[in-house]
Structure 1
């Protein structure tokens, strides 16, 4: 592992979300069975670099023009999306975090943190990262990725070593709109029935007010009273059912080649409005199931 090389890029990413990024390393973990094959890179933010289902690559790949937050599927911890004014509020204390998309802090710390492989088989990998500066509290994050037949099981845990602190977690996948971009084919269709939508503010943050779900195109967060259930369909080729007990989902479909469907433990910046707390022995946990079916 080239720590010096990574440190330079990690420091740059804390300054600017669109800094040049080296992409995946050559030390990826492979999970595979008859119909699924995943590449996970511990050096690249514990990211799923590629996910091949029934012979189709469903995630947007890296290329030299991509930035850290623009490909594959990476975990967002210990906050998700935009953290308002790069400030975490806990009671009467305010903690400054890297404003890499000024004035906000974007997408947590996973992409600029060191991860290690704790356990690995052909069907499961467990990765762990220590919570370090600039996060104010001690603890660790664990990501578990498992293949169960034609389903990918995802799990994130945030653990506290000593004190209680607020946290949130989720994933940021980029799904290809076309499975074969060189052919004239129908694009990815994403369907879900949300119970509400987070009202977007003029500062790129939810206001905290719930409104009726609006039609796309989206760069929005939606809420679910009984957990997430979304269907992704590439007509005539492949479908995927995304489920999670979690209540929040961000959908972003304004780029020409890929769509984000992000399961989250809570809405962006809700960590400051309605925090979920992690305590020693009581981790924050989020899980999601991605069940694939060939058409």
Structure 2
């Protein structure tokens, strides 16, 4: 199938998927409200095979050190799949399945599959990474850019993390867990019972971001948007908390965004 943009509908909700532009969700409208910041770099893109920054783009593997391109000097950031063209595997009225084959500069052949499922009051994103031949470390995450302002109202965030990863001067976790601090944030938080963050645009809409994963990065330092990023490990996780993908055991993760009008 082609990799042209896909439109899914359910009730008054509509989602646009852009396989050719990194497999991202390029739009999400509820009634007439566009929830995601618009633009080629925005929407909601998949972070795979790693999330956030890798220190100096390097991670150890089997006695050697892998080097990824430094696309956010001095670090490598957000994986490779957001820069590639995904393929459409299947489309129904309210669900799409898209795939991406891991290629150079990632050193291991593998396949990423993302399932996008729209309901009248929720969007569910499920992603898996499968190893083709040899095993490798990987992470999965999503990077949504929610519009800060909807209908004249700025968003508020409500969540209760168990801890915050202390952030060093290099924007990477130091390894210390600290009590959560007030924002603005470009920080990773631990939620061992699962990610659960509520975004509220007063008088407009409430949206809950949930996931069984225990890591979430919150980034709200830009005027236009707020990012709430569920992921399978912390930034620099290929060095500090690698999850191994084997030919028999893929890595899978899911996030659900559920909403109600206010």
Question: TM-score, normalization: structure 1?
Answer: 0.86
- Which residue of 44, 55, 60 corresponds with 2:21? 44
Structure 2: any 5+ residue segments left out of the alignment?
none
CA contact (8 A) 1:90 1:272 kept: no
What's 2:51 paired with?
A: 80
SS at 1:152 equivalent: strand
What's 1:197 paired with?
A: 164
Moved more, 39-48 or 104-113: 104-113
Q: How far, CA to CA, are the matches of 2:104 and 2:8 in structure 1?
A: 31
Q: Deviations over 1:232-270 (max 9, x none)?
A: 111001111111000111111111111111111111101
Deviation at 1:207, TM superposition (A): 1.1
Structure showing the higher strand proportion among its residues = 2
Q: How far, CA to CA, are the matches of 1:241 and 1:49 in structure 2?
A: 19
How many residue pairs get aligned? The number is 262
CA contact (8 A) 2:15 2:118 kept: no
Runs of 4+ in 1 over 3 A off after TM superposition: none
Q: Are residue 252 (structure 1) and residue 219 (structure 2) matched?
A: yes
CA contact (8 A) 2:217 2:230 kept: yes
Deviation at 1:148, TM superposition (A): 2.6
SS at 1:214 equivalent: coil
Q: How far, CA to CA, are the matches of 2:67 and 2:130 in structure 1?
A: 21
What's 1:6 paired with?
A: none
SS at 2:145 equivalent: strand
Q: Are residue 169 (structure 1) and residue 146 (structure 2) matched?
A: no
Structure 1: any 5+ residue segments left out of the alignment?
3-24
Q: Are residue 151 (structure 1) and residue 152 (structure 2) matched?
A: no
Q: How far, CA to CA, are the matches of 1:126 and 1:268 in structure 2?
A: 27
CA contact (8 A) 1:80 1:170 kept: yes
Structure showing the higher helix proportion among its residues = 1
Q: How far, CA to CA, are the matches of 2:138 and 2:75 in structure 1?
A: 16
**Equivalent residue runs for 1:66-77 within 5 Å:** 68=41, 71-77=42-48
Q: Are residue 267 (structure 1) and residue 234 (structure 2) matched?
A: yes
What's 1:133 paired with?
A: 104
- Which residue of 74, 80, 85 corresponds with 1:114? 85
**Equivalent residue runs for 1:25-64 within 5 Å:** 27-62=4-39
Q: How far, CA to CA, are the matches of 2:208 and 2:85 in structure 1?
A: 31
Q: Deviations over 1:22-74 (max 9, x none)?
A: xxx9x310011112100111110011110001321000011xxx6x3xx1000
Q: Deviations over 1:219-238 (max 9, x none)?
A: 10101111001101110011
Question: TM-score, normalization: structure 2?
Answer: 0.96
Deviation at 1:91, TM superposition (A): 4.1
